[in-house]
Every structure is written in structure tokens, then in C-alpha cells.
Amino acid sequence: MKLIKTEEAVGSVLCHDITQIIPGVVKDAVFRKGHVVTQEDIPVLLSVGKEHLYVWEKDDTKWHENEAAEILYDICAGTNMHPSGIKEGKIELIADIDGVLKIRRDALVAVNSLGEMMIASRHGDFPVKVGDKLAGTRIIPLVIEKEKMERAKEVGGTEPIFEILPYKKKKYGIVTTGSEVFKGRIKDTFSPVIREKLAEFPSEEIDQIYVDDEKEHILEAIQKQIAAGAELIICTGGMSVDPDDCTPWAIMSTGARVVSYGAPVLPGAMMLVSYYTNEANGRVIPILGLPGCVMYAKRTIFDLVLPRIMAGDEITAEDIAKLGEGGLCLNCNVCTFPNCGFGK
């Protein structure tokens, strides 16, 4: 940083904001830190009493904040997103598509641990829409060592920190279990909820099969959905521990790989997540066993896993276990999900 006469400052970079004060009218920065002075700026600077300026002294070992901000953006940004304009070392990442935001969390922490730069984002593994702000980045000082930005590239890794997985259109089938529904004693109020939630994603229902509580009948229904080309199978009813609750047995009997039967989420503790591999074509089909709470609770574990299922993002046992922190829905009178702590 050096002090120079304002008339000699053309092409120089300001090291601080220049504030203009007009009593009763305005008090604001007429030029911001990092602004490159032009010839047209000189009269304005003089009019606010700045006959001398502190400007950045060129140093080949340092980056200006805006130059460094572009490097930080490149570390962060994957496909299907674009940058905002650069201002004062700040760039935001904006979504170009609807999908699920994925974050390489270890890399995010590693870059933020370096100091003199920051990345703040929304929660990963949640849906985003076109135009949503995904993250904001900033270089803290006006200038930063080039060596430090190289270190940021190194700890950030070869893959972008942020990525958006687009939704994939899926054909889904519903298997509705329970003798009370199958025999017409009560109305099926579960499947309308499923259809409503699936309607938020590119999807197509191919069939709904009603069966009683016989385990072999449930298994046959699931197998029929597989044979019909279902890319997602959702089973309702029979997910508890009562003697007539045989849906988990039926799902397991297909040969599906069970990721988790049970989850640290309320509502939704009795959720079953599994994946069936169709040996005929190699296609992997998610098979979900939904607990009864999905039918009546506004938000449940189904809302946490469904976006990832629809984006083809495989769910692991560790993913389910991590839902314990934030897995308690507070059943607020006015639901603001996903803009709340549920699932985060």
C-alpha cells in the first residue's frame, strides 16, 4: 500500500472505501475498496476532499481480491451453476437447474481453514431450483498471497466443491398393502400423498397394486412392478412390528440390498431403504417401505430421501445415521420446510 496524489492515481486500485457525505441526502461509498481509478473519477475524488489516496502497490507475489475471488470460484463451481458479478472480492454461485445440491464437505472445511478466504453455502443433499443462491465466497483482505491461493487449489482437490445433480424422470409403482384396504373396509388415503409428493419431480406412475397382508402376495406384487419396468417402487403399510406387518420381509425376499430398516428421524423411524439390482438389464431400482406417518404428517423422512432418490444419488447407511442430528421435526404450526432445521 502506498500514498499517491489523486491526479496520479489513474489505473491504481483503491485500498479503502471513499465515502461521500451530503447532510440530509446521502452517506455512502462513492467508490469501493478495490475500485480501479479512471480519469473520469478524478474530479469526483477531489470533490469529496481526497487529494491523496492509498492505493495498492503492484506485487507479483500477491493477487488483488477480485483476481483471487475468481480462483476461489473455480475451486467451488461444478456444472449447472454460474457466478454472480464480482464485487469487493465476493462471488456467489447461482443454480442453473433444478436438482439436489451436493457438497464435498471435507474440501469445504479445508479451504475455510486456510484463513483470509471464506465459502458459505446452503445445506447439501437438499433440493435447489433454478436461480437459487447456492453459496457465497469472499477473499477477506484486499490482497492475498498467490501462494495461499495455490494452497487453496491443493486442499480443494481436483473436483469442484459444489455440484448439482439433475433429477431423472422415473417410472414408479406403488404397492399398497393391508387387508383393510384390499378388502375395501377403509379408503386408501396413502397413495394420494405419494402422488402429490412425486408430482414435484419428473415422474410417471405405471401401476398401483393392492394386496392383503400375506407376505407372499406382497412379494409377488413387488416382483410384478419390477417386471413392468418400474424404476422406483414404493410400498405402503405393514412396516411396523405387528404380526401382520410383512412388508419388510417381502422387500428383503426380492434379494434387494437393504441399506437401512429404521432411521433416526421423527416422523419416520420405521422407514426401509433398499436397492434391487435387476439382473436382466443391470438396472438398480430403489425399493422403499414407507411408515404410516408419511400418510398424515406434513413432513417426514420421505421428504428427506425422495429428492436424492429422484436425482439418482445413492443413499448409504452412513447417510441415514447422520440424519439423527436435525432428524427431529418440531411440527411447527406454520411449516417452513425446507427452510428450517429438519434434516440438517
Residue 121's H or E segment, with its range, is strand 117-121
Class of domain 2-55: alpha beta
Give the per-residue pLDDT at 286. Answer: 98
**Residues in Cβ contact with 80 at an 8 Å cutoff, skipping those fewer than 6 apart:** 95, 96, 97, 99, 163, 164, 166
Give the per-residue pLDDT at 255. Answer: 96
Give the per-residue pLDDT at 233. Answer: 98
Give the per-residue pLDDT at 243. Answer: 65
Whole-angstrom Cα distance, residue 238 to residue 233? 15
**Amino acid (1-letter code) at residue 282:** G
pLDDT tens digit string along 54-107?
Answer: 887 777 898 988 889 999 999 999 999 999 988 878 999 999 999 999 999 999
CB 308 within 8 A of CB 274: no
Give the per-residue pLDDT at 266. Answer: 97
Give the per-residue pLDDT at 29. Answer: 79
Task: Please state, for a pLDDT cut of 90, what percent of the chain lies above it.
Answer: 78
Domain-by-domain residue ranges, the chain? 2-55, 62-165, 170-322
pTM for this model (two decimals): 0.86
Q: Which of 311, 235, 309 is nearest to 271 (CA)?
A: 235
Would you report the helix, strand and coil content of the chain in percent, each value rounded to 5? 25, 30, 45
Q: What does the angle CA 293 – CA 296 – CA 297 come to, to the nearest 5 degrees?
A: 70
For strands 170-177 and 203-211, give the pairing: parallel
CB 62 within 8 A of CB 145: yes
Give the per-residue pLDDT at 84. Answer: 95
Q: For the chain (length 344 residues), average pLDDT per consecutive 10?
A: 89 83 74 87 92 84 90 96 90 98 98 97 97 97 92 97 97 95 92 97 97 95 96 92 82 96 96 94 95 95 98 97 97 94 95
Give the per-residue pLDDT at 65. Answer: 86
Q: Which of 271, 260, 272 is nearest to 319 (CA)?
A: 260
To 10 degrees, the CA torsion angle through 154, 158, 160, 166?
Answer: -170
Whole-angstrom Cα distance, residue 99 to residue 81? 11
Whole-angstrom Cα distance, residue 75 to residue 39? 35
Class of domain 62-165: alpha beta
Domain 170-322 CATH superfamily: MoaB/Mog-like domain (3.40.980.10)
